[in-house]
Amino acid sequence: MVLFVDLIRKAIFFPIVLILALSSGAAQAAPVVIEKKFANCTALNKVYPGGVSKSAKAVNKGGKTKQTPTVNLRVYNENKTKDRDGDGIACER
């Protein structure tokens, strides 16, 4: 009887472990957004044509821009030095 219960337990437990292993593997295979420090605005604008803003509330205080910046605080923080006028948008154009 003990052996039978043990078999049932394994029959239930192992598929769960397998599903968890497979689902975590799938999560790792999902596309990863690369948040990096770009060498300069030319490189950054190839990925983010309108630059990167730290928040949707950031207002451009420089000249008129043609593109809408992408809101991404992490990318902004990595490239903060490129926001020369300090308006919260790096490499706006």
Residues lying near Ca ion in the complex (CB under 5 A): 83, 85, 87, 89
* CB nearer to Ca ion: pick between 6 and 85: 85
**Residue 78 or 87 having the CB closest to Ca ion:** 87
State in angstroms the smallest separation of the CB of 15 from Ca ion. 54
Cα–Cα distance for residue pair 65/51, rounded to 1 Å: 10
CB of 7 or CB of 73, closer to Ca ion: 73
Largest pairwise CA distance in the chain: 80
Burial of 61: CB neighbours in 10 Å, binned 0-12, 13-18, 19+: exposed
